[in-house]
Amino acid sequence: MHELSVVQNLLKILERICQERKVASFLNINITVNPLSCIDEENINFVFHSLTKDQPVYKNARIHIRRSDDPSSREFILENVEIEEL
């Protein structure tokens, strides 16, 4: 499952954000994916919530996907994250 590796890498980035800021919860996670990627928004959110079900900081998070126009772009790029701070 391709979404699994993307979510695992995304979680590493989000954990760094948690260390740098006082994050109460993540709300919206906006990523841009390669236009040739098969990543699907519904599937990536399913995998994300399956991996984070025991972590309250991710409970209300939703990943939103935008497709790049550039087929030579990276697999995914984290564009921005909306958080609720402590």
Q: What is the pLDDT of residues 56-73, one digit of tens each?
A: 999 999 999 999 999 999
What does the block give as tokens for 20?
Answer: 């740098």
Domain ranges of the chain: 2-85
Q: For residue 13, how many other CB atoms are within 10 A of its CB? A: 12
pLDDT tens profile 3-59: 999 999 999 999 999 999 999 999 999 999 999 999 999 999 999 999 999 999 999
CATH architecture of 2-85: 2-Layer Sandwich (3.30)
What does the block give as tokens for 24?
Answer: 């109460």
Say what the pTM is.
0.92
Q: Which residue has the tokens 């087929």?
A: 71
